[in-house]
Structure formats: C-alpha cells, structure tokens
Chain A
Amino acid sequence: MAHPLTTCTFCGAGCGLHLETQGGRIVGVYPSRSHPASQGRLCVRGWHVHEISSSPDRLRRPLLRRDDGFAEVSWDEALAFLVERLGKVVAERGPEAVALFCSPRCSNEETYLLQKLGRAVLGTPNVDHGAGVYGNNSTDVLARLLGVPAATGSIADLDRSDLILVDGLDLARQLPTVAGRVIRARLRGARLVVVGERSHRVAEHADHFLQVRPGTEARLYAAMAKVVADRGLYDREFLRSRCRDADAFLAAAREVDLLAAAKACGLEPEQLEAAALAYGQARAAAILYSTASPRRPEVVEGLVSLALLTGNVGRTGGGLFPLAEHNNLQGVCDVGMDPDWLPGYRPAASAAARAEVERRWGTALPARPGLGAAEVFSAAEPGRIRALWLSRYDPVGTATGPNVARVLEACDLVVIQHVFRPESARYAHVILPTTAFGEEQVTFTSTERRVQLVAQAVVPPPGVEPAWKQLTLLARALGANWSYPSAARVMDEIADLVPFYAGISHAALARGHGRQWPCTPDRPLGTRTLFAEPADAPGRFQLVPPPARPPEEQGDPAYPLTLVFGHSDHYWNQNVLVQHSETLRREHRFLLLDYPEGFVELNPEDAKSLGVREGERVRVLSAEGAAVTDARITPEVRRGAVFAPFFAAQVQTLVHGYRPEAPALLHVRIEKEVSAP
C-alpha cells in the first residue's frame, strides 16, 4: 500500500484519509471512500493536514533554557535535568506541586502514559486535558444520567434519523463532516431543529430555527418535554423498563408553563410547540451538541431527558451526540486524563476504584482528585504549582486569563512537549520536540467512540522522538519499572485496564476503520449503538425533572444586552496546525485582517439603536469590567445578544475577569467609544 490509510487529527469526526508520500515527505492527501463517518468527504483542514509535517519551523532537538536563551541539548542531558528538577520540586513542595496537562489532540497512548507518570510515578493527582469546563459538564452529566459519557449512536446512522436537533454550535465550522451528514439528511427529508443565539450554515437549513435568548436553553428543553408529555408522545415502555423517576419527570414536565418559557426564550409559543411536536413525533431523533459550547449542566440534563423521554437512547438514528471539537477529547477522557476520573471513568474520589488501579499499577495513588487546568490557571495566588508539564498544550496561546502567565512564571519547571514552539515556550525551561501527524503509529478516539489508528507514513526528522517514548524514558530515569517498546504495547495495557477497550489492539485496529467502543472479547467488532439492548446499560437511566420554579432572569436595565462567548469562523486561528499550513492560515485569519484587535458581533437593529456602525470602536461594559474592541454588525446574532469569539481573550478577561467556571453569559451594555483627543 503506497498511500497509508489513516485518520485526520483535527476535529472529533475522525475522517478517513490517505497520505501520499514522496521522498520521505508527505505531499498529498485524499479521502477514504469507505470510511463510515466521512464516506469520501474531508473539510478544508483535512485536505491540508499534510502541510504540517513539512514545515521548516519544526522543533528538532531538545531545548534547555540557559541564561542567554535556549540551547540545543542531547536527550540524555534533557532527561537528567528533568529528573533533577522534578525531584527537587517534589522533595521541597510535595508531589501536589506538580501538574501535568495535555491537549485533547494528544494520542491515547501518550496521554495514558502522561497521567500514569503523574499519578503513579510522581504521585500527583493534578492531571487534566486543556479542553475546558464545558466538556467536563457534559462528561459528568452523561456519566450520572446514562452511566457512559459518550455519544450513544454513530455518525453514519444520522442517515437514518428522521429528526436532528443541533444545539449551540456552528457545526459546519467545527465538525464539517457531521454538518454534511445533517444537511444531506435534511435534503432526504429528515426534519432539522437548530437551537442557538447565532445563525450559521446548518441553521440556514433548519425547519425550526429556535434563535433563543442566550442562556435560556434549559427552559426551552423543559418546555419541549412538556409538549411531549402533554401530547402523549413519550415512550411509555422505555420509561417503565429502563428509566428511573419517570413519573416524577412526567408530572414535573406537565407543570411547566409553556407560555412563560416561550417568553423567557424569546420565542413564539407556537414556534416552540411545533419544534417539540416534530421532535416527539420523530421515529428516530438525534440530538447533537458541542462539549465545547458554553452549556451549563442543566442544559445537558434537559437534552438527555428529551432523548430518554422519547426512547431515543439506544435507537439507531436517534440518541445523544456530545460532539468533541478536538480529535481526541473522547480518548484523553477515556484513558483518565482528568483530575476526577481514573482510566475507564473510575471515579478518582472512590477508594475502591483507586484500589483497583493501584493493584494493576502496583503502586499507591494520590488519595484525592486533583486540580484541573482551569483551577490552576485561575488561581488567585500563583505558586501552588511549581512544576508544570504541558503536552502539545499551549495555555498562553489558547486559554484565557491574565493568570496563565503568572502561574507559569511562578514555576521552577515548565516542560513543553510540542511539534512547534508555542507561545507558552516563553516560560519554558525545557522544550521536547515531538513527532507530527504521519510520523508515528498511535490511536485517537473520535466523537463516535471510534478508536482509530493513525498510520506512520514517514520517519520523523532525526532527533525527534514520539511523546510516549519520551515519557517512558523519563519514568525509567525517575526509577519506575516501565517497559513499553512500542505504542502498541501501551495500548495493550490500556485494553487491560479500561474495560470498554478490552478488545482493542493496534493489530485489530489495522483492519478497516477502527472499532467503536465498547469493544470487548465478546464484541470484537465494537458497538455501533450504545444501549441497544437493556443488558448493555450499566443500570437504569436517570431522568432529571425540570424545576417547578425556574429561576427568572432578573434583567438589569443598566446592562440590557447579553454577552455570549463562542466559536466563530476563525476560532482555530491560533492552532499550530493552522498556523503552519499556507491555505489554512489564510482561511482562518481572514477576518482578523478586517478586525485585527478582535470584535464583538451586534445585531443590526441593536447597532442602529446604539448608533454604532460597522467596524466602529465600542466599549463593552459589565458590572465587573470593561473592554474596548470593534463592532461587527451582522444579522446572524439575535437581538439583545452580543457575540464575542473565544479568541478575543482580552475582551473576556477585561469584562469579567477569569474564573474556573467562567460564566457562559454576562449582562453588558455597549457604548460607542469616543476616540481620545
């Protein structure tokens, strides 16, 4: 096979593609026609993944900070420095002064070893991925209500949905392959409901575009549940046999005040009712939401309840799809890169769960859950963490808040493992160059639980080692008895420890397009739909009744608008992959040429009443702070909402400061900025 079949490593869709190589370089990409999720389609990022490994900006040798900047050193020298410095921090400050964070783009193998290095070798519970709090909200709610925090269905089966509900993400930008599935399903006659304060490509296809007032999604889903309950559109048998608290849920749902909910959401009651009826009457209804969208746990609970109420969980073409915008967010959580969860979603707070992992690893584990990235980077007093490991993760370039730099500055050791030199490298003591896409054989787990191999197509540049190998060498240098001759052996250990990966090995994954977990010896080909049989579920599903008195938003006339942070067209402009592809850099930055200092989006009617015109400077004021930026006037954002892209970090920080649970919404007012004389 001249052109290895592999997996795109950008978003959670995990599209199949082939790499064309020539003279040890990756020179081209084309899609795999038979991949179940992508079926011959790629997005602009997939079509350009090959441009990254050939970038001349690659890191090629370990770098060690000296007085006059970074010096290239040997791997032995870099490891010796790490052993000495890590040992010093642990000895002086205790293991809890060490934190290890990775990007949700890291492979399953390197991530598993990173959290094991933290927990088992260094003895710190502080391990996390840097994908943020909303992903954790989704994980926690799904684990609590369904028992398994993952998509219940398969992307391919969206072909068999007759209703698809998309909540709050610009699907065509974030997971274009999934958006294509949705649009093609719509063209074939499936109904489409889109919820969100901002319009986008998929919303333009909606039968029901519910452009709700920001932050009212939980009210919307409770009201939809009421319509389903009142009209008897729920699945009686499914509720009786497979759910807990169904009667309480139905009773509470019937009490929801539809008119009040519609008013709170900023919708016509008929509009809300029509969407709810379409949902309730669908034979198979799928719910898609993003684990990166600012959604509070109540919103996810509302979505899960709607899916359970209609018996869609476990049904082909129906179910819940918590979509991962990063290629391996699902995988890094599966293998335990989360302060609250050990590998296989064993709760870190549970002594029994810890004991099981301790027995397998033959060593004691930290006795409590640790700190996550959001907590560490928002600490009021930096200095609690003194050694920080950042694996392909660039908090300075991607996370928000003024404290990131202060936290890094307070460290005695900052280690960066990366393909390129990220912004955080300013604070690094050691930089370890890692392999790029196509240079190592490792696995990623897509948003539909599909564990897939990425093939090695070319050899890495001399001096560059795979991250899993670097971690193995370091653990051995620290005295641990680690022996992983290959990434495949790391996966064997994961399969041994994570029950739903039990049937997975690199050899098995090399046939076809990966396996969807649970993949176990008695189910070696994996599982297309979770919970298809009652016996597949870990127990009964939990319904969460909507509150009898939902909190009414108390509007403040001084701050009449709602500021929403979200993803927009060029969210990925800071991504290293995007920065190292000619085409992608242009594609994801073009708006920044017009708005070099960022922007907030205003509806034309709001802009008119404020007297603000396109491109003018505005001041965004909240009760807690203010920021100055440019106005982008667009009908895509609803009246009363102000949309700020995540990348405009300065806006976010200035307006509300940084907290671990950064509020999804903030009440603000906009003033036209009068330029200083």
Chain B
Amino acid sequence: MKARVLDGVDVLRVVDVLRSQGYQVVAPFAEEGGDGAFSTVTDENRDAIALHLPNPLYPPKRFALPPIEPLLEIRGHGAETTFRPIVEAPRVAVFGIRSCDVAGIGHLDRFYLEGAYRDLYYATRREALFLVNVVCTLPGVDVGEACFCPCTDTGPAAREGFDLQLMDLGGGEWLALAGSQKGEALFQEPFFRRGTPEHLARRRALLDDLRTRFKTFTSWFAAAISRISRGEVSEGTWEEIGRRCLECGGCTYVCPACTCFTVSDRPAGPDRTERVRIWDSCALSGFTRMAGGHNPRKAVHDRRNRRFYRKLSHHFIQRERSVACVGCGRCAEICHGDVGMPTVVELLRRGPTGPSPAANGGKA
C-alpha cells in the first residue's frame, strides 16, 4: 500500500480532482441542529465540507444501495407488455466516508457480489463508486459517545476497502494511503509528496492513543457470538430485547451493514409501472408476517432474535466472513428502547437481569 503526505490546505483538492474526473462527489457537511449529512459537492458549498464532525446518522451506504431503487419499467398490457431494466451507474465518489462505513460497504459487497447470486444492480453501481476514507482522529468530534469500532476491528483506521485513505496527523499535515490502483493514480497530483518513516510513526502513535479514547469499548462480541451460535440465549433474554423494540425500523435504516430489501411494483404514471426495491427492516411487523396474526408479541421477540442471529451467529459470520456489525454506534443512538448493538451484546453475555417486571403480576 503506497503512502503519501499532503498539507491540510490541500485536502479538498482531492475533491476538486475527482470532480474534474467527472465524479459526482458527495461529502459530509454540517447541518442545522448539530447534525451532519453527506451531500453533493458543488462550486458553492465546496469550502464548507466538514473534515471533522460527528459521523452523520444517515450512512453513506445509500450511494451503493439506495433506499428506493428502480429496477424495471413495465409498460402496456397483456401481449403488448414491455419490460425495460433500469440499470444505473452514476459515477459517485464518497469523500470523507468513515472506516466503519467502509467496512459496511465491504459487507454489502460480500453479500451482493460474492454469494451464489451476483446482483447486477448493486454490481453496476458499486463498480462506479470511489471511496475516500477519512480516518476519525478527534475524540468527542469524529469519535462519538456511541462509537465502538475497536470492538468490531473496523476502525478507527480502515485497513482495506477504500480507494484512498486520508488521515489528519495534526500540525497541518495529512497522510494518504492508496487502497486501489484508482486511488494510487491520484498520487500523480502535485500536492502529494513522499512521506518519511516519522509520518508513519505519528500515524501509529495517534491510533494507539485514539483506541483508549472510546467511551464504548466493552462490546465484547466473542461471548455473544458463542452464545448465539450455540443457541444458548434464553427466551427471557429475547423477550427483554423484544419488549424494548418499538418496531421503528431505524436500526436497519442507519446500519451500514444491513442488506434486506423488498420488491414492489408501483404505478408511476399512466400506463407505466415501476418495479422498485425498497430497504426493508426485520424490525417491522410486515417483514415476516405471522400466519394467524395472533401473538404479535412473540413475533416481535422472534424478529429481534432474527436481527441479532443474522448479525452475530457463526453460520452467517462464516458465510460473509465478518460480523455484520461495523461498530458505528448509530443503532444505539437512534433506538427508543436502548437495544442497540452494544446493549444487546451485553444482554446476550449476561443473560436476563431478572424476571420481567410484568411477570410478578404487576405487584411491586
């Protein structure tokens, strides 16, 4: 992997180069109310790109897998019906994607491209995607309270999956690593210069220090994976988790590694139907409708069971070569009942804390 050094004032020139190459560049910007979001870079907003800010809640996964993606256009009726596939390959460069989100796209790749079936739509979009990873370096800003990537071994600095990685070494200097030939080609730009062993030493020292700055660092997956894979998680634990799930679907919408979708045909004008795929969520009641519909509570517990089995069981880890959690902490932030991944790992490790409050007949 080749490394180069560049000055902080030149970092956004990477964006300029990508735009001049015809990429639609999306980058993080600060939004009202302390939020951040990935938006398209224009001449007007280019200087407002935020290199350090809390990782936006809405993950950049959507540039590889849009929330609503048209697949097919259907026109006419009966024998006259025509089908036209809609395969889009916009050249998008995500500038400032964090290491956890890079790992998330890696997970999507293994799911959509390396299984028994290669997904044409995903493959086309993915091949046109360029990823510029920016390493989180500022505790309390880049690294949020809910972040726990050291536990999933996905950060703070990604080891693979990016085309280019940028890291703020402090003192106005940034280190760049090429992760692909496309990324390495950028090193021809004059604002990159050769680094010294001292730069790499600074990188190591920064990362060593940063690993001690995480607020959430006890998401100990090993025991949780072992328990869930052996079927040792009690009904009581699943009930506890299910009771706290309000079925909003948020955990899957913000998850960089969730892959589920549903397909729907919807009217798109007179004589025109569009087949779309839409992000789906195992948290939702319609995801796996229980025949008979009675006992919705049991269904919730089963669906929560499914989410964490899907993410943590040995069976799936073996198939996709990673835990389907990248430690971004978003599910913990958006969960109404505080059953994001770190809490669940803890609940799975410990087992239920006692009988459910309602189980004693409501008597205190």
A interface list, Cβ under 8 A from B: 1-5, 16, 18, 20, 27-28, 30-35, 40-44, 46-47, 51, 56-57, 172, 176-177, 179-180, 183-184, 186-187, 191-192, 199, 201, 203-211, 268, 270-271, 274, 278, 512-513, 569, 582-583, 586-587, 590-591, 593-595, 614-615, 632-634, 636
Judge if B188 is at the interface, Cβ distance under 8 Å: no
**A274 near B363 (CB under 8 angstroms)?**
yes
Q: Could you say which of A40, A42, A211 has the most chain B C-beta atoms within 10 Å of its C-beta?
A: A40
- Known contacts A30-B57, A32-B33, A56-B268: A270-B289 contact under CB 8 Å: no
Residues of A within 8 Å of B56, CB to CB, are 30
Q: Which of B37, B249, B295 contacts A47 (CB 8 A)?
A: B249
Q: Mask for B262-301, Cβ within 8 A of A = 1, else 0? A: 1010111100000010101000111001011111110000
Complex CA–CA separation, A591 to B289 (angstroms): 9
Out of A1, A41, A44, A176, name the residue touching B32 (CB < 8 Å).
Answer: A1
Instruction: Give chain B nearest CB distance to A211 CB in angstroms.
Output: 8
Q: Which 5 A-B pairs have the closest CB atoms?
A: A180-B336, A30-B58, A594-B293, A2-B39, A586-B286
Distance in angstroms between the alpha carbons of A30 and B55 in the assembled complex: 13
Partner among A1, A40, A209, A586 whose Cβ is within 8 Å of the Cβ of B57: A40
Given contacts A35-B33, A40-B333, A44-B284, 15 further A-B contacts (CB under 8 A): A2-B39, A5-B31, A28-B58, A30-B57, A31-B334, A33-B33, A33-B35, A42-B250, A47-B249, A179-B246, A184-B336, A204-B356, A274-B364, A583-B280, A590-B285
Whether A203 and B358, one on each chain, are in contact in the complex, defined by CB atoms closer than 8 angstroms, is: yes
Interfacial chain B residues near A210, Cβ < 8 Å: 362
B88-124 near A? 1/0 per residue, CB < 8 Å: 0000000000000000000000000000000000000
B357 lies within 8 A of A41 (CB): no
Q: Is B222 interfacial (CB-CB < 8 Å)? A: no
**In the complex the two chains form, what is the Cα distance from A3 to B56 in whole Å?**
12
Q: Establish whether residues B286 and A5, one from each chain, have CB atoms under 8 Å apart when the complex forms.
A: no
Interface residues on B, range: 35 or more
- B268 (CB) vs chain A CBs: closest residue: A56
| CA distance in complex: A477, B27 (Å) | 50
Task: State A199–B243 Cα separation when bound (angstroms).
Answer: 12
Complex partner residue of B363 from A28, A271, A590, CB under 8 angstroms: A271
Q: State whether A41 touches B334 (Cβ < 8 A).
A: yes
Within 8 A of A (CB), among B1-43: 29, 31-35, 37, 39-40
B62 at the interface (CB under 8 A from A): yes
Q: Which residues of A contact B286 (CB under 8 A)?
A: 583, 586-587, 590
Contacts of B361 in A (CB 8 A): 271
Does B308 belong to the interface (CB within 8 Å)?
A: no
Q: Are B278 and A47 in contact (CB under 8 A)?
A: no
Q: Which of B35, B266, B297, B358 contacts A209 (CB 8 A)?
A: B358
B contact residues around A271 at 8 Å (CB)? 361-363
Bound complex: CA A192 to CA B45 (Å): 49
Q: Roughly how many angstroms separate A43 CA and B246 CA in the complex, as a whole number?
A: 8
Name 5 interchain pairs, CB-CB below 8 A, sorted by A.
A28-B62, A56-B268, A201-B243, A208-B364, A590-B289
Q: Are A583 and B363 in contact (CB under 8 A)?
A: no
Q: Tell me if B302 counts as interface (CB < 8 A to partner A).
A: no
Q: Hey, which chain A residues are within 8 Å of B35, CB to CB?
A: 5, 18, 30, 32-34
B335 near A41: Cβ-Cβ < 8 Å: yes
Residues of A contacting B249 with CB < 8 Å? 44, 47, 583
Nearest CB of chain B from residue A191's CB, rounded to whole Å: 8
Residue pair A209, B362 in contact (C-beta under 8 Å): yes
User: Bound state CA distance, A271 and B364, in angstroms?
Assistant: 8
Find out whether the CB atom of B336 lies under 8 angstroms from the CB atom of A590: no
Any chain A CB within 8 A of the CB of B68?
yes
**Is A582 a contact of B278 with CB atoms below 8 Å?**
yes
A18 touches B37 (CB 8 A): yes
Contact A5 B29 (CB under 8 A): no
In the complex, A184 Cα to B250 Cα: how many Å? 17
For window 158-211 of chain B, which residues contact chain A by CB distance below 8 Å? none
Q: How far is the CA of A363 from the CA of B294 in the complex (A)?
A: 58
- CB-CB < 8 A to B358: which residues of A? 199, 203-206, 209
Query: Contact between B250 and A34 (Cβ–Cβ < 8 Å)?
Result: no
CB-CB under 8 A from B62, the residues of chain A are 28
Chain A residues with CB under 8 Å of B276's CB are 582
Which residues of B lie under 8 Å from residue A176 when comparing CB positions?
Answer: 246, 248, 336
Contacts of A32 in B (CB 8 A): 32-33, 35
Residue contact B294 to A634, C-beta cutoff 8 Å = yes
Contact assessment for A40 and B33 in the assembled complex, using a CB-CB cutoff below 8 Å: no
When distances are taken between beta carbons in the complex, the residues of chain A under 8 Å from B247 are: 44
B221 interfacial contact with A, CB 8 Å: no
A4 to chain B, nearest CB (A): 8
The distance from the CB of A566 to the nearest CB of chain B, in whole angstroms, is 16
Least CB distance from A10 to B in Å reads 12
Task: Return chain A residues, CB-CB under 8 Å to B68.
Answer: 27, 51
**Do A207 and B248 have beta carbons less than 8 Å apart?**
no
B337 within 8 A of A: yes
**Whose C-beta in chain B lies nearest to the C-beta of A604?**
B294
Q: In whole angstroms, what is the CA distance A209 to B357 when docked?
A: 9
B58 proximity list for chain A (CB < 8 A): 18, 20, 28, 30
Q: Mark B239-267, 1 if CB is under 8 A from A, else 0.
A: 00001101111100110000000101011
Bound Cα distance A35, B286 (Å): 29
A3, B284: Cβ atoms closer than 8 Å: no
Does B67 belong to the interface (CB within 8 Å)? yes
Cβ contact of A183, chosen from B253, B297, B336, cutoff 8 A: B336
B57 with A56: CB separation less than 8 A: no
Q: Any chain A CB within 8 A of the CB of B338?
A: yes
**Complex alpha-carbon distance, A36 and B173, angstroms:** 38
Taking CB as reference atom, which chain B residue is nearest A16? B33
B54, B249, B269, B364: residue with the most chain A Cβ atoms closer than 10 Å: B364
Q: Is the CB of B248 within 8 A of A41?
A: yes
Set of chain A residues within 8 Å of B268, measured between Cβ atoms: 56
Point out the residues of chain A lying under 8 angstroms from B57, CB to CB.
Answer: 30-31, 33, 40
Please tell me if the beta carbons of A2 and B29 are within 8 angstroms of each other in the complex: yes
Inter-chain CA distance A20–B57, complex, in Å, is 13
Contacts of B356 in A (CB 8 A): 204
Q: Please report the C-alpha to C-alpha distance between residue A194 and residue B67 in the assembled complex, in whole angstroms.
A: 37
The chain B residue with its CB closest to the CB of A28 is B67
Determine whether the beta carbon of A206 is less than 8 Å from that of B362. Answer: yes
Q: Give Cα A207–Cα B32 distance, bound, in whole angstroms.
A: 39
Chain B nearest Cβ from A100, distance in angstroms = 33
Knowing A56-B268, A207-B364, A590-B285, the reply to whether A2 touches B31 (Cβ < 8 A) is: yes
**In the complex, what's the smallest C-beta–C-beta distance from A637 to chain B, in angstroms?**
11
With CB as the reference atom, state the residue of chain B lying closest to A601: B294
Tell me the bound Cα distance from A208 to B40 in angstroms. 52
Most chain-B Cβ atoms within 10 A of its Cβ — which of A18, A184, A205?
A18
Please state if A587 and B285 are interface contacts (CB–CB under 8 Å): yes
Shortest beta-carbon distance from B291 to chain A in Å: 8
B336 touches A512 (CB 8 A): no
Q: Are B337 and A184 in contact (CB under 8 A)?
A: yes
Q: Of B29, B285, B334, B364, which contacts A40 at CB under 8 A?
A: B334
**A34 with B34: in contact, given A27-B68, A40-B333, A207-B357 (CB under 8 Å)?**
yes
Bound Cα distance A615, B295 (Å): 13
Q: What is the bound-complex CA distance between A209 and B243, given in angstroms?
A: 15
CB-CB nearest in chain B for A45? B248
Report whether A1 and B364 are in contact in the complex, using a CB–CB cutoff of 8 Å. no
With beta carbons under 8 angstroms apart, the residue of A4, A5, A278 that contacts B364 is A278
A179–B358 CA distance with the chains assembled, in angstroms: 17
A180 and B337 contact, Cβ closer than 8 Å, known pairs A210-B362, A513-B33: yes
Shortest Cβ gap from B258 to chain A (Å) = 13
For B249, B264, B268, the residue with the greatest tally of chain A CB atoms inside 10 Å of its CB is B249
**Do the beta carbons of A47 and B250 come within 8 Å of each other?**
yes
Q: Which of A20, A47, A191, A634 has the most CB of B within 10 A?
A: A47
Cα–Cα distance between A651 and B95 once the two chains are bound (Å): 58
Which chain A residues lie closer than 8 Å to B33 at the CB level? 5, 16, 32-35, 512-513
Bound-state CA distance A276–B168 (Å) is: 58
CA distance A586 to B297 in the complex (A): 18
Closest to B356 in A: A204
